[in-house]
Chains A and B, each alone.
Chain A
Amino acid sequence: MCHSLLLLLILTGLDAESAYQVMKFLAKYAEGSGRRVIITIHQPSSFVWRMLHNIVLLSKGKLMYQGPRSKIEPFFAKNGFPCPKKFNPADHYVSLVNDEFVLHEKSVDEWAEAFEEWQEDQTQNDDLQSAIVVSSSFQQSPSEAGTRILTTVLPSSRGRVHVVLFELTRRYLWNLICNPGILGTRVVMYSMLSLMIGILFFDLEDSTSHASVMSRIALLFYSVAFFVFMSVAALPFAVIERGIVEKEVRNGYYHPACFQFAQAIASVPGTFLLALMTTSITLAMTDLRNFRAYFINMFLALNCAEALAQLASHMVPHFIIGIALIAGVYGMFMLLQGFMLVPSEFPSWLKWLHYVPFHTYSWRSFMVNEFGGDVHFDSAQFPTGEAVLDQYEISNVNQTTDMLILLGYGLFIHFLSFAVLHLKFIRHKRNQVTIEGP
């Protein structure tokens, strides 16, 4: 017990020093510069207390005191509660105005009234007088104040757009390289699963049995469904990134579209790497056909998945909800992609749903890539590759068109991200309407 106390005391000392340094810096920042610093603080230490100039004391949403720190003691002393000697004044005042406990002396309403009376007495408070005059002149203004908050906003500090784009892209790329959570874990997971596929379906292409046909179809379904699904791993970090970006947008450094643009560009190398790795390992071991087409398909599908993860990250309050949302969407997409149920078997009024998932275009292109052309099997049901494609109603599919659709699909999701960010930005700006001085 003694040891831990000692340790805590050392920590306390260090941290009080740290808090003191912060306050010292803030006081210096404001002092004599015309700038102002506004902080919220729960319970300042007596060190920190001495460095505050102006106090706004609230309780239950009501104003308990506002004004110079030097006058707060006269106010509480006048009302019969001076700060005891050797007591942290901040603790004293904050506990006085807290009426949630049985042992309070005055209720919040009583304190609020006491302060109003005291404030009226303080006629020498010129600042307050002038502010009240100013505010009443605003009330007369015909602006649609309504339920809005009016804030004078002067030009924000922004770098030039190309510099901002360059900086954000570079930052995202560095994050990709340095933060194993974004790409590293997926590299490990994708390569392990590709290896496992390779081991289970080793030299699959050499076999022409009926079972090998079924294995090929299952493998291609898995390639689309699972590798796309795994992109949810990027979501927690995309949400962390969003927090940082929101802070920067709030401080007016750039329009959020700049960030989405940078994120879209910077996520390409990672997707490229994952697609290349997965394709290389899987195809080297299973010997499936046409490396280039397989890779392009995988790359474009992962690109869509990455874009969708980014879109979700802009919309959800917490990444766990994002993961649940994306998992739900992908579950739905897998159902609709044409593997579980061929398009003609869909209820007629739901047929269009088959064309919604990007999985549809990716999976059928994988199938055409594998079964298209002159391929023969030792199977009564599927004597040729063409028979397999006929079974799934995808014999007329054009791979190039589907690849273009996948490319467009990814771009469209990025566009939706832009739209979401822009709408959020407009809402943020609407809360900050510029008003002219009187």
Chain B
Amino acid sequence: MNRRTPPSPPPKTRVNLGDIEAHEQTKGPINLTESTVMKGTAFAQVDYVEVQTNKEENPVLLHPMTVLFPESKVTAIMGPSGSGKSTLLNFVTGTLESGLTAKGMVKLSGRMGFVPQDDRLHGFYTCRSYVEHYSRLTGAKDNFANAKHSMDLLVGLGMDSHSDTIVGDMFRKGLSGGQKRRLSIALEALSSPETLFLDEPTSGKILFLSRSRNLFMI
């Protein structure tokens, strides 16, 4: 299948990532209209994001800033609670809540896949049948995804041993919180979006860490 760039040299911080090569090789066709100058310079320029009020000065959620999102990299938006992490993410994805007013611009090439903070999943699917359903729903099956590609995704996220476990809901027990998170990621990664957004992908787990830390403090 088409690949946009030749394989890049190994990055400085090489991580042993296990065997999920197939995922890259089976990437879907890419329609790039941007010139090569633009490559790697995805960015978001915020002029402001404010809460819309009738008062003279609106409460500001994000001040002016230009943020870069280099390609082939994992960019983490960090900060204390209420610092504007999710607002910036929503600004970039163009899904700011109503009641906010914003100005700025975002430059991102290709398709976007968004994994929200709360896992929005149907309880009755097994991991395997969910991935199969998504590959038909998103058209990935017609383009590039096959059974091996789907399975590789589950293996890559350590979900292969749960591939026949149902997601579960309030009536039936199924995957744990962390496993649901990983399934959500696999489902969005399935159609190989150029930019994958994740709101707190490791939350739930971090919650346990901080809880245990509190216990130590007691």
**Bound CA–CA A247/B137 (angstroms):** 13
Q: List 6 A-B contacts (CB under 8 A).
A: A36-B69, A39-B77, A58-B84, A157-B191, A251-B193, A438-B37
Residues of A close to B182: CB separation below 8 A: 18, 21-22, 25
Contact with A along B99-137 (1 / 0, CB 8 A): 001111111111111101010111110000000010011
Q: Verify A135–B45 contact, CB threshold 8 A.
A: yes
Q: Name A154's contact: one of B41, B80, B92, B110 (CB within 8 Å).
A: B110
**Bound CA–CA A252/B111 (angstroms):** 9
Q: Name B23's contact: one of A29, A41, A147 (CB within 8 Å).
A: A29
Residues of B close to A356: CB separation below 8 A: none
Residues of B close to A247: CB separation below 8 A: 114, 116, 120
Does A57 touch B at the CB level, under 8 Å? yes
- Taking Cβ atoms with an 8 Å cutoff, the residues of B that contact A are 4-5, 7-8, 10-11, 13, 15, 17-18, 20, 23-24, 27-28, 31-35, 37-43, 45, 49, 60-63, 65-89, 91-96, 101-114, 116, 118, 120-124, 133, 136-143, 156-158, 169-171, 178-179, 181-182, 185, 188-189, 191-206, 208-212, 215
Q: Verify A56–B81 contact, CB threshold 8 A.
A: no
With contacts defined as CB atoms under 8 Å apart, how many contacts are there between chain A and chain B in the complex?
391
Residues of B close to A195: CB separation below 8 A: none
**Bound CA–CA A53/B75 (angstroms):** 6
User: Contacts A54-B69, A58-B88 known; A27 to B124 CB distance under 8 Å?
Assistant: no
Does A436 touch B at the CB level, under 8 Å? yes
> Which residues in chain A, 332-375, are within 8 Å of chain B measured between CB atoms?
none
**Bound CA–CA A51/B42 (angstroms):** 21
**Bound CA–CA A130/B102 (angstroms):** 24
**Bound CA–CA A180/B86 (angstroms):** 34
Residues of A close to B32: CB separation below 8 A: 154
Does A181 touch B at the CB level, under 8 Å? yes
Contact with B along A45-68 (1 / 0, CB 8 A): 100101111111111111110100
Q: Verify B185–A171 contact, CB threshold 8 A.
A: no
Q: Verify A42–B200 contact, CB threshold 8 A.
A: yes
List the 8 shortest-distance A-B pairs measured between CB atoms, nearest first: A15-B205, A178-B124, A58-B79, A159-B139, A19-B202, A53-B73, A431-B94, A157-B191
Contact with B along A189-210 (1 / 0, CB 8 A): 0000000000000000000000
Residues of A close to B193: CB separation below 8 A: 35, 157, 251
Q: Verify A135–B70 contact, CB threshold 8 A.
A: no
Residues of B close to A95: CB separation below 8 A: 80
Residues of A close to B103: CB separation below 8 A: 145-148
Q: Tell me the nearest residue of chain A to B145, going by C-beta.
A: A157
Q: Verify B108–A151 contact, CB threshold 8 A.
A: yes
Q: Verify A254–B137 contact, CB threshold 8 A.
A: yes
Q: Verify B68–A128 contact, CB threshold 8 A.
A: yes
**Bound CA–CA A98/B215 (angstroms):** 23
Residues of B close to A112: CB separation below 8 A: 63
Q: Name A27's contact: one of B17, B89, B113 (CB within 8 Å).
A: B17
Does A110 touch B at the CB level, under 8 Å? no
Chain A interfacial residues counted at CB < 8 A = 114
**Bound CA–CA A38/B179 (angstroms):** 20
Spot the interface stretch: A3-11, A79-87, A220-228.
A3-11
Q: Verify B45–A25 contact, CB threshold 8 A.
A: no
**Bound CA–CA A57/B84 (angstroms):** 10
Does A188 touch B at the CB level, under 8 Å? no
Q: Name A32's contact: one of B72, B136, B178, B208 (CB within 8 Å).
A: B72
User: Contacts A32-B24, A100-B80, A174-B124 known; A253 to B138 CB distance under 8 Å?
Assistant: yes
Q: Verify A135–B43 contact, CB threshold 8 A.
A: yes
> Which residues in chain A, 103-141, are within 8 Å of chain B measured between CB atoms?
112, 127-128, 130-132, 134-135, 138
Spot the interface stretch: A160-168, A384-392, A409-417.
A160-168
Residues of B close to A248: CB separation below 8 A: 137
Q: Verify A127–B40 contact, CB threshold 8 A.
A: yes
**Bound CA–CA A127/B14 (angstroms):** 22
Residues of A close to B105: CB separation below 8 A: 135, 138, 145, 149-150, 435
**Bound CA–CA A254/B101 (angstroms):** 27
Residues of A close to B38: CB separation below 8 A: 134, 437-438
Does A378 touch B at the CB level, under 8 Å? no
Residues of B close to A12: CB separation below 8 A: 208-209, 212
**Bound CA–CA A237/B114 (angstroms):** 22
Q: Verify B208–A11 contact, CB threshold 8 A.
A: yes
Q: Verify A23–B74 contact, CB threshold 8 A.
A: yes
Q: Verify B198–A25 contact, CB threshold 8 A.
A: no
Q: Verify A21–B60 contact, CB threshold 8 A.
A: no
Q: Verify B136–A163 contact, CB threshold 8 A.
A: yes
Residues of B close to A127: CB separation below 8 A: 40-41, 68, 70
Q: Tell me the nearest residue of chain A to B129, going by C-beta.
A: A174
Q: Verify B212–A9 contact, CB threshold 8 A.
A: yes
Q: Verify B77–A431 contact, CB threshold 8 A.
A: no
Residues of A close to B13: CB separation below 8 A: 50, 53
Q: Verify A30–B81 contact, CB threshold 8 A.
A: no
Does A212 touch B at the CB level, under 8 Å? no
Q: Verify B74–A243 contact, CB threshold 8 A.
A: no
**Bound CA–CA A18/B138 (angstroms):** 27
Q: Verify A21–B139 contact, CB threshold 8 A.
A: no
